[in-house]
Structure 1
Amino acid sequence: MTQQTESESRKLLGRLREALAEQSDGQERLDRITRLIATSMGAQVCSIYLFRDADTLELCATEGLNAAAVHKTRMRLGEGLVGRVAKTGRAINSANAPQERAFRYMPETGEEIYSSFLGVPIQRLGENLGVLVVQSKEARQFSDDEVYALDVVAMVLAEMAELGAFIGEGAALSARHQQQVLFRGVSGQEGAAVGRVLLHEPRVVVTNPIADDPHEESRRLHAAVDTLRLSVDDMVSFAGNGDQEQREVLEAYRMFANSKGWLRKMEENIARGLSAEAAVEKEQSATRARLSQVPDAYLRDRLHDLDDLSNRLLRILTGQGRDGSDPMPDDPILVARHIGPGDLLEYGRQLRGVVLEEGSVGSHAAIVARALAIPLVINAANITTEALNGDPILVDGDQGIVHLRPEETVAAAFRDKMAMQAEALQRYASIRDRPAVTLDGHRVVLRMNAGLMADLPSLESSGAEGVGLFRTELQFLVRNKMPKRAELASIYARVLDAAKGRPVTFRTLDIGSDKVLPYMKRTEEPNPALGWRAIRVALDKPGIMRMQLQALIRAANGRALTVMFPFIAQLEEFEEGRDILMRELEREERLGHPLPETVRVGAMLETPSMAFAPNRFYERADFISIGGNDLKQFFFAADRENERVRRRYDSLNVSFLGLIEHIVARCNETGTELSFCGEDAGRPAEALCLAASGLRMLSMRPASIGPIKHFLLRSRLDEIKDVIDTARAEGAQSVRPAVMAYLAERAGR
């Protein structure tokens, strides 16, 4: 860039700062900005289009087009050249705009006489606010320097919009961070919570995007980068000679922190008129734009590293962000783009709920949230952009809905819902110690799922008759290195102590698919859910399983031990796993360690293949637990992590119930204990149908035990079975409508 162009760019930013500093309402500011941009760039037209909603752009200010079109001209996302810029987040530079395939003629604007078109997105860290456009009659391509200059101005506009510069009488933008916002995400964990936002990574607000002294800004940038590099060096040193893969990750992190190219781009931004903070954020926005376009998981992780480094650098420059000195709200609801299981566990049970922009129902964070029994909503797009620390927030984990800064009418209705739930919990407390016996005399055992020591107090409060599934992988997932055998033995012993003689079923390590250990090399697979996971990993790397089995035997210390192998797909896998356990028992005996009083060995039935396994499987297994979540996704060929399909298939489909009945019959023939474990066990209609299909043991999250017991105590399984059989005979695809009608009729009696 020449000194003259640099000077013009800085001059434009200086004029922009003056326009923004003058006292005026939002519309006047926008009008003044379009005039000075058009004049500075020698263009006949400058227009600002802003989003009115997620799919609609509106012409909010213009210099050169018909003034009567302001607030009248609107277009859909992707419509016309302006809509394409907004949709793609990329600039369009055309010397002959009317001849472009995507051009849309807007007669009310009078723009047909202008040939040249340059449009850039108005965006901040991946959030699109609108489009900034310049046009001229002369047919010409705008230069790279002109594109850069307009891009910088668009970024400054986005920053000023963040600070409310365009709010007031006649404003084109509504006040940011003041309006109520509804987010529709996905339920990761059921429940409801009212509280205040606690941002995991508080948003850094850049209050000085334009700077006077580039030398001072460059000095500030270099000082901040030096501080950042020292902190990263400390992280690498702390890792020391520990886990090699963790060290390699940190070394890659350090490589980015020392990147000369990254620093050079930020220096160029400063030279063109931006402050140090704005220069960092401009490159961060570019990184996030690239993130959305990269299909390779490894490269995405590296770009996440660069994004994280940018956040750290911004906090150093601004002094903003949580450093432990900010008080946590009394009723915190954590809001984050994504979060690891270790970080989530550090917050612990003091959280009322969690809302994430990213993640899946099977992610580490979802597993920990379920273990902590707190509501979780995932895929709440852009909530970290909208939310500020301390904002009031309502989380509906049942529906996957979040209300940020809700109106009082919404908040009152939500509080009423929570009061009704609390009243129901009081009713459930009165039946806590009663066995779940239906009106026609069928006893159904209700157990709880767990994965952390923090879960165990729920054994008493929920009325669970034991732990039907203890997920042992959480102790591996929340560490940055492999736990030692003695550590695991201590944890498992405390679990058995807390159970106070109630049965506990330990599921051996279930990793792979969506559960990847931080210290284990990730293997990219085209379909991880059907790939190298669970028992397949354990049998290929038996050292880990042997160590875990030794820890379980020592934890039992003469007490009963129940072990279950996950994701068994064929008889040989179960027998091989069982043989390893038997050999470890013999080894422990030789070493003089006390053996468990009894040992029961079972399997999770999660693949349809095992419903049709040889009789030997059912005869050799001491018990079988149907893993409902995986079994359903494989039965329907519907990935439960894919929101487009996972809700299209019904647990009460007659085919799926037929499979369950087939498994029940196989277990009845061999006298094998059978249970059902999964989300459906904790839903009243599903639980009643499972019990009516012959299942007499259900395992679920602790909060579901009260409601399920309440329904069982008031139901007759023979009547529900008749409803199922009748619906099936009538050719119904799902028995759900008939069962819900039956339950509604009973409730009205």
Structure 2
Amino acid sequence: MPEQTETESRKLLRRLRDTMAEEAAGQERLDKITHLIADSMGTEVCSVYLFRDEETLELCATEGLNPQAVHETRMRLGEGLVGRVARTGKIINSADAPKEKGFRYMPETGEEIYSSFLGIPVQRLGEKLGVLVVQSKEARLFSSDEVYALEVVAMVLAEMTELGVFVGEGAALKARHQQAVMFRGTTGQEGAAQGHVWLHEPRVVITNPVAEDPEKELTRLREAVDDLRVRVDEMLAGAPSGDKEQMEVLEAYRMFANSKGWLRRMEEDIGRGLSAEAAVEKEQSTARARMAVISDPYLRGRLHDLDDLSNRLLRILTGQGAQTGAEMPPDPILIARNIGPAELLDYGRSLKGIVLEEGSVGSHAAIVARALAIPLVIHAERITTEALNGDHIMVDGDQGVVHLRPDETVVAAFRDKIAMQAKAQERYASIRDKPATTLCGKTISLQMNAGLMADLPSLDGSGAEGVGLFRTELQFLVRNQMPRRSELAALYSRVLEAANGKRVVFRTLDIGSDKVLPYMKPNDEPNPALGWRAIRVGLDKPGVLRMQLQALLRAANGRPLSVMFPFVAQYEEFTAARAEMDKALARERILGHAIPEHIEVGAMLETPSLAFAPDKFFEMVDFLSIGGNDLKQFFFAADRENERVRRRYDSLNVSFLTFLEQIVARCAASNTALSFCGEDAGRPVEAACLAAIGMPTLSMRPASIGPVKSVLRRVNLDALRGVIHDARDRGDMSVRGAVMEHLRNGG
């Protein structure tokens, strides 16, 4: 680029910085900015449009259009050329704007028909804030240098908007990070909590987007990049030598950190007037824009690496991030884009709630949140950019809703809900030690699910009769290397001791699909939920399965032991897994170790195929546990992580209940113990229906036992079964409506 253009660009930014420094109200400052941009670029018009809500843009300042149109002219996302820039996040540079697709003439602005149009998105790290526009009567395309200069100005405007520099009268100029905002996400773990925001990774705030001394900024950038390269080298040196995947990621980090092109582009941005921090963020925004349109997982992964490196570089430059010195509030609600299980366990039970922008209902974070009984909402888009440490926040895990900086009306309603839940808990506590015996005299066994030692105190507190499912994969997921047999044996022994004689069913390692061990090479599978997972991994890697079975046998140390294999799809898989248990038992006898006085070996029925296994399977297996979450998604061919399809299918669908009844009948004929484990077991209405069709045991999260027991003690299962069969005979698609009416009328 010619030196003159660099100078002009820097001159424009310097004038912009001086305007920012002047004592002026937000609107006045914004008006001055549009004037200086139009003057510097020699255009008749410069306008700034900002979002007043997610779908509407508002004209907030203009040079050249009717001043009366400011805060009055609005347009929908995608409407006109301005709306198109806002929707797509792409620049429109046209010498003949009226002929462009979607052009809209706005007479209320008093504008003439301007030929030339240049629209630049105002955005920060992918978050769309508005559009910066210049227009002129002269029919011409704006040069690449002019486009670049306006891009830089738009970026500075985004930073200033984030910092609240333009707070004013218009709806789009209300103080950011001070308004009440509601986020609709997805339930990851039920429950309600209120507290104050604690950001897992506080966003870096850039307060000096314009460089005062370019040479000084270049020095700062180069020193920070050198520091970053040293840190990446240290990370590589400390990585386990046998961990090929981790080494590949760190090598990609090193490649980017040493990229001359990356550094050169940032140096050029500084030469055009940006500070070191703003230059880094400009490149980061470019990487995120590319990520948004690239579907190839490998390329997205590499761009994510670059995005992460940019964050690290920004924290070196600003000194912000994890070492900010901020103190965690006494009632923290954790906010993060995503988080791993080990990091979440580090926080432990100190958290009152968790809100994630990403994640899934079956993710490691969700598993840990459920284990810790912490309300979790996932898919709360943009919350990390909107929330600030210390903000008041309310999390409704039941509805998947988050209220950030709520107003008094919401606060009052939310507190009423929490108070009602507290009263309900008192009612549940009063029946904690009573059996779940229905009005017709049938007693249902209620068990709890667990996965951590921290869950075990809930065994007595919830009134559970035992642990129907102890997930053993969490101990594998939170480590950077395979745990040792002795470590697992010690843990399983502590679990049995904490259970104080109550039955604990240990599920062997259930990995694969969305649960990938950090030290096991992931498989690039088109549909991992139907791929190499659970018992399939165990049978293909028998050394891991044998090690875990030996740890369980040693942990029992003569006590009764219950073990089940996950995701068994056919009889032969169970016989092969059972053979591994027999080998482990024989080895323990040879070594002189104590053998469990009684051992049960079961399977999880999570695929429809196993329901049609030969009679010999049902006779051989000691017990069956229906994994309702997986079974339902495979029965309906509806991915439970896909919001577009999973809500279409009801657990109380007649076809699904009929299928479950067939399983109940087969188990009854072979005298095989049966339980139902999953989210539906912990929902009172669904639990009552499962009990009505003959399910003798239900296993659920501890907090659900009270509500389920309360309903079961007030229902006649014989009458409810009649309601279910009548609905089926009528041809109803779901029995939910009929069942709800029956329960409302007294059951």
TM-score surpassing 0.5?
Answer: yes
Length-normalised TM-score, structure 1: 0.97
SS at match of 1:108: helix
Query: 1:537/1:315 Cα in 2 relative to 1: closer, same or farther (>3 Å)?
Result: same
Report the counterpart of residue 573 of structure 1 in structure 2: 573
**Range 376-385 or range 532-541, more displaced:** 532-541
Output the CA distance in 2 between the equivalents of 1:390 and 1:69.
37
CA distances 1:427-480 after superposition (whole Å, capped 9, x unpaired): 211211112111111010011111111111111111111110111111111111
State the identity %: 73
Output the CA distance in 2 between the equivalents of 1:533 and 1:170.
54
Residue 314 of structure 1 pairs with residue 314 of structure 2: yes
Output the CA distance in 1 between the equivalents of 2:354 and 2:125.
22
Query: 1:627/1:124 Cα in 2 relative to 1: closer, same or farther (>3 Å)?
Result: same
CA distances 1:704-724 after superposition (whole Å, capped 9, x unpaired): 011111111121111111111
Residue 274 of structure 1 pairs with residue 270 of structure 2: no
Report the counterpart of residue 19 of structure 1 in structure 2: 19
TM superposition shift of 1:729: 1.8
TM superposition shift of 1:172: 4.7
Report the counterpart of residue 740 of structure 1 in structure 2: 740
**Range 622-631 or range 260-269, more displaced:** 260-269
Report the counterpart of residue 398 of structure 2 in structure 1: 398
TM superposition shift of 1:166: 0.8
SS at match of 1:113: coil
Output the CA distance in 1 between the equivalents of 2:196 and 2:261.
40
SS at match of 2:131: strand
TM superposition shift of 1:24: 2.3
Residue 42 of structure 1 pairs with residue 39 of structure 2: no
Report the counterpart of residue 645 of structure 2 in structure 1: 645
Give the letter aligned to residue 744 of structure 1.
Answer: R
TM alignment of 1:506-517, pairs within 5 A: 506-517=506-517
TM superposition shift of 1:595: 1.6
TM superposition shift of 1:396: 0.3
Query: Does the 8 A contact of 2:51 with 2:172 survive in 1?
Result: no
Query: Does the 8 A contact of 2:605 with 2:631 survive in 1?
Result: yes
TM alignment of 1:176-325, pairs within 5 A: 176-323=176-323, 325=325
TM superposition shift of 1:102: 2.9
Query: Does the 8 A contact of 2:52 with 2:172 survive in 1?
Result: no
Query: Does the 8 A contact of 1:554 with 1:593 survive in 2?
Result: yes
SS at match of 1:326: coil
Residue 528 of structure 1 pairs with residue 528 of structure 2: yes
TM superposition shift of 1:297: 2.3
SS at match of 2:646: coil
Residue 466 of structure 1 pairs with residue 497 of structure 2: no
CA distances 1:343-389 after superposition (whole Å, capped 9, x unpaired): 11111111011000001111111111111110000000000001000
Give the letter aligned to residue 681 of structure 1.
Answer: A
Query: Does the 8 A contact of 2:58 with 2:172 survive in 1?
Result: no
SS at match of 2:183: strand
Output the CA distance in 2 between the equivalents of 1:199 and 1:189.
19
Report the counterpart of residue 345 of structure 1 in structure 2: 345
Query: 1:501/1:331 Cα in 2 relative to 1: closer, same or farther (>3 Å)?
Result: same
Output the CA distance in 2 between the equivalents of 1:572 and 1:563.
18
Report the counterpart of residue 625 of structure 1 in structure 2: 625
Give the letter aligned to residue 499 of structure 2.
Answer: A
Query: Does the 8 A contact of 2:52 with 2:171 survive in 1?
Result: no
SS at match of 2:294: coil
Report the counterpart of residue 594 of structure 1 in structure 2: 594
Report the counterpart of residue 99 of structure 1 in structure 2: 99
SS at match of 2:164: coil
CA distances 1:15-47 after superposition (whole Å, capped 9, x unpaired): 111222222222222221111111111222211
Give the letter aligned to residue 704 of structure 2.
Answer: S
Query: Does the 8 A contact of 2:53 with 2:172 survive in 1?
Result: no
Residue 709 of structure 1 pairs with residue 739 of structure 2: no
TM alignment of 1:91-170, pairs within 5 A: 91-109=91-109, 111=111, 113-169=113-169
Length-normalised TM-score, structure 2: 0.98
Query: Does the 8 A contact of 1:189 with 1:398 survive in 2?
Result: yes
**Range 264-273 or range 15-24, more displaced:** 15-24
Query: Does the 8 A contact of 2:79 with 2:102 survive in 1?
Result: yes
TM superposition shift of 1:169: 4.4
TM superposition shift of 1:168: 3.0
**Range 690-699 or range 172-181, more displaced:** 172-181
Output the CA distance in 1 between the equivalents of 2:505 and 2:706.
21
Q: Gaps (5+ residues) in structure 1? A: none
TM alignment of 1:557-706, pairs within 5 A: 557-706=557-706
Report the counterpart of residue 455 of structure 2 in structure 1: 455
Output the CA distance in 2 between the equivalents of 1:636 and 1:241.
44
Report the counterpart of residue 445 of structure 1 in structure 2: 445
Query: Does the 8 A contact of 1:159 with 1:209 survive in 2?
Result: yes
CA distances 1:527-575 after superposition (whole Å, capped 9, x unpaired): 1111111111222222221211111111111111111111111111111
Residue 86 of structure 1 pairs with residue 89 of structure 2: no
Query: 1:741/1:172 Cα in 2 relative to 1: closer, same or farther (>3 Å)?
Result: closer
Report the counterpart of residue 28 of structure 1 in structure 2: 28
Output the CA distance in 1 between the equivalents of 2:268 and 2:594.
70
SS at match of 2:566: strand
TM alignment of 1:478-557, pairs within 5 A: 478-557=478-557
Report the counterpart of residue 387 of structure 2 in structure 1: 387
Report the counterpart of residue 414 of structure 1 in structure 2: 414
Query: Does the 8 A contact of 1:119 with 1:134 survive in 2?
Result: yes
SS at match of 1:131: strand
Output the CA distance in 2 between the equivalents of 1:322 and 1:415.
32
Output the CA distance in 2 between the equivalents of 1:190 and 1:172.
34
Give the letter aligned to residue 200 of structure 1.
Answer: H
SS at match of 1:32: helix
SS at match of 2:177: coil
Query: Does the 8 A contact of 2:679 with 2:700 survive in 1?
Result: yes
Report the counterpart of residue 360 of structure 2 in structure 1: 360
Output the CA distance in 2 between the equivalents of 1:556 and 1:252.
45
TM superposition shift of 1:662: 0.6
Q: Gaps (5+ residues) in structure 2? A: none
Give the letter aligned to residue 259 of structure 2.
Answer: S
Output the CA distance in 1 between the equivalents of 2:102 and 2:283.
29
Output the CA distance in 1 between the equivalents of 2:80 and 2:482.
55
SS at match of 1:567: coil
SS at match of 2:105: coil
TM superposition shift of 1:53: 0.9
Output the CA distance in 2 between the equivalents of 1:112 and 1:746.
71
Output the CA distance in 1 between the equivalents of 2:302 and 2:488.
32
**Range 273-282 or range 80-89, more displaced:** 80-89
TM superposition shift of 1:486: 1.4
Query: Does the 8 A contact of 1:43 with 1:135 survive in 2?
Result: yes
Output the CA distance in 2 between the equivalents of 1:593 and 1:249.
43
Give the letter aligned to residue 721 of structure 1.
Answer: R
Output the CA distance in 1 between the equivalents of 2:526 and 2:425.
44
Output the CA distance in 2 between the equivalents of 1:493 and 1:650.
39
CA distances 1:484-520 after superposition (whole Å, capped 9, x unpaired): 1111111111111111111111111111111111111
Equivalent residue pairs, number: 747
Output the CA distance in 1 between the equivalents of 2:324 and 2:665.
57
Query: Does the 8 A contact of 1:98 with 1:112 survive in 2?
Result: no
Query: Does the 8 A contact of 1:27 with 1:172 survive in 2?
Result: no
Across the aligned residues of Structure 1 and Structure 2, the Cα RMSD in angstroms comes to 1.5
Report the counterpart of residue 76 of structure 1 in structure 2: 76
Output the CA distance in 2 between the equivalents of 1:491 and 1:246.
27
CA distances 1:681-704 after superposition (whole Å, capped 9, x unpaired): 000100000000000100000000
Output the CA distance in 2 between the equivalents of 1:574 and 1:84.
58
Query: Does the 8 A contact of 1:45 with 1:136 survive in 2?
Result: yes
Output the CA distance in 1 between the equivalents of 2:737 and 2:470.
34
Query: 1:744/1:128 Cα in 2 relative to 1: closer, same or farther (>3 Å)?
Result: same
CA distances 1:378-409 after superposition (whole Å, capped 9, x unpaired): 00000000100011100000000000011122
TM superposition shift of 1:255: 2.4
